[in-house]
Structure formats: structure tokens, C-alpha cells
Amino acid sequence: MTLMTSGLSDKSGLRAPGEPLLVWPGKAYPLGATFDGNGTNFALHSDVAEKVELCLFDKEGDETRIPLTEVDANIWHGFIPGITPGQRYGYRVHGPWDPENGLRCDASKLLVDPYGKAFDGEFDGDSSLFSYDINNPEQRNQEDSAAHTMRSVVINPYFDWSNDRRPRIEANKTVIYETHVKGLTMTHPDVPDHLRGTYAGLAHHSIIDYFTELGVTAVELMPVHQFVHDDRLRELGLKNYWGYNTLGFFAPHRDYAASQSAEGAVAEFKQMVRSYHDAGIEIILDVVYNHTAEGNHMGPTLSFRGIDNAAYYRLVDKDAAHYMDYTGTGNSLNVRHPHTLQLIMDSLRYWVEEMHVDGFRFDLASTLAREFHDVDRLSAFFDLVQQDPTVSQVKLIAEPWDVGEGGYQVGNFPDLWNEWNGKYRDTVRDFWRGEPSTLGEFASRLTGSSDLYAGRRPAASINFITAHDGFTLTDLVSYNEKHNEANGEDNRDGESHNRSWNCGVEGDTDDEDVLRLRAQQRRNFLTTLLLSQGTPMISHGDELGRTQHGNNNVYCQDNEISWIDWENADEDLQAFTRRLIELRQNHPVFRRRRFLAGGPLGEDVAKRDIAWLTHDAKLMTDEDWNFDFGRSLMVHLNGQGIVEPDLHGRPIEDDSFILCFNAYHEALTFTMPRRHNVMHVEPSEEDSWTVVIDTSVPKGVPEERRELAPGEEIEVPARSVIVMQRPLSD
């Protein structure tokens, strides 16, 4: 097919004026726009389309519509020679308009490509221009939306990776740092102004050096897939800061790019990944495959809804005009449909193969397991991930819940998966704020939650105290109540049960005793987190004392409330966190590859790997575990009890440690255990213990060396942790 499109030619610079635009049949695979050096292949899936027009836009924004006449297996496709990277495009899908039966084709709406790898422009029109009022069928706005929506952009897939190699950090050595591209870099003094809030800013040597010095091994980025801002937030003068409102599952978010060209965001993202790999740090993406930015039945038609509504979305069985909503966002992707599953898997492979990311954290992952209504751990999505030779080999982390009935699925995901352990978060918070009946569960969480992950390994438990959703660590010890007034919802949004404790005063205070206790509680939380079995995750800025002033839902606060305040960083807390990570990484006793056995291993009872003791050095009894007001615990970790081999088959041995936890409001005296009390062997004069961590002192590390002999007593101050070390040579 040949089309005369002199207007496009003259203004786009793609070909000489008057040169005809050729349209060849092209191929049905791969989906999306694929540049091969000579031209671009376009392919779009729709089961319901009666006609599909490819819309090309020149530099002036003028549109040329090209019918795609080749259709194979409901994939509409064509190849156009001379179409090069930078070309803006979209689709118009002609077909049935019958919302009551789930059909929403509307050719007046320009649609972005579900497989688009870059985007330009923004969604800036009144919502009525894009949506349909289900309560008033006559109000269907058929005004053309092209001038008010985004366009997809053809990209150049070629990039010099310079022998880039994935760090492939072992699971038990992984320390995750959850962060936000913009929030991390916007106020950093060493990042140039024009790079702040961008992928290039994230790749700046000052940021990478910071992570390297801190000791984290993986940076988990909050959503970087192309997203749009909610109409309601725009009306309030706010933005969707978190980005859990995806429109493009293949494109890096345009606003996070310093590059002036839309397609340049792709190369900039790749350069960022390469820089982190050079430093030995992995990049994990927080991905949102459970819903899209098109919202509920009143939401805008931007892409999926207008292409094939019933294929992409879960519709209510007896009312197809409405959407099933397991996410609280208005819609849920239809993971029962093969092309929607293909979209998700193609997207995951793209980010691994083409963008070189090292793993994914799946937002509201239970939604992906809903074959019908119930959560099914063996759903098609997880089967596909399991057998995929690419996706199955990277880090896979589930947020194991959604808002639907039965959605809380902590511990129930397949063997390949790691999970955000919400029970770890809740238990540790309760222990340190003094809630009753938490001692036994606290011990379980401290040792990797084998009750949840027995079929896997301790690393399957992603341990965290705080995350982007909720209080920061500083706010966790400073507020009893949320303070979300800035969000414009009269403080109704956000979690109301935070398991927080303000240490006696709500919010800001000059009370030195309260401030001292808050600082100590932060050190308690970080010590517990980083010395627990499992995979620790730090929420960005917690190690710097970041506060959101009591706002526990900053999803719409793209400003100083949510950004890291580098100028007022708590350097002592940062140094303490670095020390804890170093202790963890240097001592495999804190990051075992397999679960602790607890009792004697084999015939040699001296190889007991862990012992639970009361503060007077007696082995814990059932009565001690079940004591409702138990607030103290001594943990003996035997480094010689690590009988598992390392990755080279060599047996591991390590120093031994004692952790003394006192969550009581008064100081307690702990007695150093004798080896024969713990492991039934004769005491040794060499069994001395050195205090290496003391959360009751201002910097968390004793200024003077202190050693304790077996049977000697040490006072552990109220609400504090003391960690003691005995070298292997003893």
C-alpha cells in the first residue's frame, strides 16, 4: 500500500517532500513499534476491533492516519520504511461501542501503544473528554482527544552496554534500599541542579558512592514505568508522586529523564543501570501489573480500554459496564486473558533483557493470582514465571496482599518468590512499643519466619520496619496518629493503625528525654532489622532521620514532605546503620542460607546453632515463652554451628554473638552464659565477650572496649539492645 503524505514528509524530515509513504505487511510479532534500522514495524492486538488506524504525528503535531490492513490472530500490523526513532504515534481503534456489554471502542480517542517504549506529552484534558458517564448514556463525548493526550514514541533499541555484567548478589547477602528517583536526589547538594530528580541524577557518582559506603547491595526503585497523574489530584494542585498509576509497562517515566528528547529517557535509564552494575549494585523495579491508570468505569480512555476493554480488564460478570476492583484503584488487569498475560511477561522480559534490571517487586501481587475470585497460588501467571528462562532467574518479590477478600497471602507464594513480610513489620513494631504476648513471635521473625517460609529459605522473608507506604522510621517513634491533612482528604486517607509510639509527646518537641528515647528506639529497630535472618530492606532516608511530619500516605506529596532532606541528615544514625550492615555482611551467622535448627545438630551437642535464654542465662521454657508480659530475651548465635557449606562447598564457621533485647521500661541485669549452660561443654577461661553494639549510647557503638567473662553480669538499659561478640579463635 502506498499513501501520499507530503505534509508528514515535509515537516517530519523522515523523507523528501512528496515522497510516497509505503506500508508493507510487516509482522505480527513482536507487538509494539520495532525499529530495525530501515523502518519500523507496528503491531497491535485487539479481538474486537473492526478497523485500526496507525496515527503518525509530525513535528508540528499534524496527524496522518494509516489503516493497518494486515491482521493475523487478531493482531493488526504493518511495516513502514523510513520511520525512525523519535517518530510520535498512536492508534485509533474502530469497533463496537456498547459499555453495558463491556465494549468501549471509540475512534475519537487517540490511544497510546500498550507496548510503547517511550512517551511524549501529557494527559492534560478535562476528564469528560476521555470518559463516559455510565449514569448518563447520552453524555458520550466524541470530541477528538489527540491534542490533550500523550503520544507513543519509536525508540532506538541499540545501546552500548560495554560488557555490562549483572552483579548477581547472593540472596543471603542482599541488603535492599527502597527509594524514589526524585525523592532521593532532589535536594542532594552534590547532584547538579539540572540532574536532580532524574535517572542521570540517580547515577551521579555522589549517590552511587553513598550506597557503596552504606553497604546496600540492591536499590529498589519505586515505580518508573510511565504513569499519569490522577484527574482528582490535578484539580487539587497535587501529583501522583509515588507513581502507582501505570500507563506504559515498557517505558521509563518521561519526567524522570534529564534528556530533552522523549526517546532519550530509555538510553538515560540504561546508562543509570550500567553505572550501578559497575559499582556492584543491583537495580530492582517496583512494578504495578495489577491495574492501570484508566481507573473505574468513569475513568479516561487512554489506551487499553479503547483497544480491547474486556481483554485487558476484569469486568463484573453480570454488569460488564463496571470493573472488578481488587486494588482500590478502580480496575484490575485481566490475568485470565492470554494477551494480557503476554503483555505482562513481555514487559518483564523487556526490562530484564533490554534494560538489564535485576529483579522486580510486584505491587499488590495477590491480584495477579486471582484466576476467578479467590487467590490461587498456582495461577497461570505464576506458572508462566516459573517456566520462563529469563524472568525466573532474577529476584522476584511479592507484596503478598491486595484489598480484595482473602487477599492477605503472606507466606503463601510459590517457592521461587520472596515476599514483603508484613508479619515481621507488625511483630517488631509491637515488641519495641511494649505490646504484650509478642515474645515468641518476635523470636520467630528474628530467625527468618520459618513458620511462613519453611519450604523456602530465610532470604524469602523480606524484612522491613517501614516502607514508602506508612510512617518513616523517625515518625514511627514520634507520632501516635497520622497527620495527612496536606493530602486534601481531611485526614481520612492512610492507615490508622500504625503500631507506632510517640515516646510521650506527639510530633515535634524540645524535651531532651523524649528525643533521647526516640533516637534509641530508632537504633533498636535498625539493629533488629539488620541482624535478623532473612533479607533486610531499608526505606530511603530512615538511616538519615527523614521525617514526613506525621504524614503516612505521601503518595501525592511531590515536595519537601516526601523528599530526603540531605542538609539535615543525622550523620550519627547513618554511621550506625553503616556499622550494622558491615557487621551483617562480615558475619554469615546473621545471614544464614538455611534456617537455624535450634537444637543439637548431629551427635556433637556443642554445635547447637542457636540458644534462647532468659536474662539470667537460663534456657527458655514454655512458661517463659508464654509469659504475657515478656519483654526481654537473650539470643546466643553459635558461629561454629553454621554447618551448611558456602557456594564453593566449604564449611562455614564464624564468630559467635549474644544479643540481649530489653523492651522493658526499666533496666534489666543480664548474666553472661557459660558454655556448659548453653551447649553442655566445659567452660573455658577464654570465653570472653566483647560489646560491639549498645543502642543505649548516643552513637550506638561503645567508645571504650568492654569485655565480659562467663557468669559476669551486665546491665541492659531500658528499651535497648546490646550485642556481644566472641571471636572464633576462642
d(Cα 518, Cα 587) in Å, to the nearest integer? Answer: 28
Length of the chain: 730
**Nine-digit cell at 356?**
538489564
Enumerate residues 6+ apart whose C-beta is below 8 A from 685: none
Residue with the three cell numbers 524530515: 13
**Nine-digit cell at 599?**
537444637
Each domain of the chain, given as residue ranges in start order, spans 597-726
Catalytic residue among 220, 231, 268, 399, which? 399
End-to-end CA separation in angstroms for the chain: 83
Where does 421-491 show beta strands of DSSP type E?
A: 461-463
Residue with the three cell numbers 511524549: 120
Reduced 3-state DSSP string for 28-67: CCCCEEEECCCEEEEEEECCCCCEEEEEEECCCCCEEEEE
Amino acid at 573: L
The reported pLDDT for the residue numbered 374 is 62
Asked if 146 and 63 touch (Cβ cutoff 8 Å), the reply is: yes
The reported pLDDT for the residue numbered 605 is 35
Asked if 140 and 98 touch (Cβ cutoff 8 Å), the reply is: no
d(Cα 612, Cα 620) in Å, to the nearest integer? Answer: 6
The reported pLDDT for the residue numbered 601 is 39
Catalytic residue among 263, 363, 542, 558, which? 363
Enumerate residues 6+ apart whose C-beta is below 8 A from 570: 544, 545
The reported pLDDT for the residue numbered 680 is 45
The reported pLDDT for the residue numbered 6 is 41
d(Cα 260, Cα 198) in Å, to the nearest integer? Answer: 12
Looking at the DSSP assignment, which residues form a beta bridge with residue 119? 152
190 noted as active-site residue: no
Beta-strand pair 535-539/461-463: parallel
**Nine-digit cell at 349?**
522480559
Instruction: Verify cis geometry, omega within 30 degrees of 0, for the bond prior to 30.
Output: yes
Q: Angle CA(664)–CA(668)–CA(671) in degrees, nearest 5?
A: 135
d(Cα 643, Cα 391) in Å, to the nearest integer? Answer: 32
d(Cα 457, Cα 462) in Å, to the nearest integer? Answer: 11
Mean pLDDT by 10 residues, the chain (730 residues): 48 54 96 97 98 96 97 98 97 96 95 98 78 67 89 97 96 97 98 98 98 98 96 89 97 96 95 98 97 93 97 94 92 93 97 98 88 62 94 97 84 93 97 89 96 94 98 98 96 96 98 98 98 98 98 97 97 98 96 80 54 91 83 92 71 91 96 66 66 96 92 96 87
H or E element that contains 268: helix 264-278
Burial of 567 (0-12, 13-18, 19+ CB in 10 A): exposed
- Sign of the alpha-carbon dihedral angle for 134, 135, 138, 143: negative
Beta-strand pair 359-362/395-398: parallel
The third-level CATH classification (topology) of the domain covering 597-726 is Immunoglobulin-like (2.60.40)
Which is nearest to 225 in space by CA: 275, 172, 266? Answer: 266
399 noted as active-site residue: yes
Asked if 178 and 546 touch (Cβ cutoff 8 Å), the reply is: no
Burial of 645 (0-12, 13-18, 19+ CB in 10 A): exposed
d(Cα 676, Cα 683) in Å, to the nearest integer? Answer: 6
- Sign of the alpha-carbon dihedral angle for 324, 327, 328, 333: negative
DSSP, collapsed to helix, strand or coil, labels residue 439 as helix
Which is nearest to 557 in space by CA: 439, 468, 464, 669? Answer: 468
pTM for the whole structure: 0.95
CA distances to 188, 237, 431, 530, 568 from 571, rounded to whole Å, are 14, 35, 27, 18, 9
Per DSSP, 519 falls in state H
Which is nearest to 117 in space by CA: 23, 42, 215, 213? Answer: 42
The reported pLDDT for the residue numbered 10 is 35
Give pairs for 706-710: CB < 8 Å, separation 24+.
708/672, 709/672, 710/672, 710/673, 710/674, 710/675, 710/683
Per DSSP, 620 falls in state P
**Nine-digit cell at 576?**
550506625
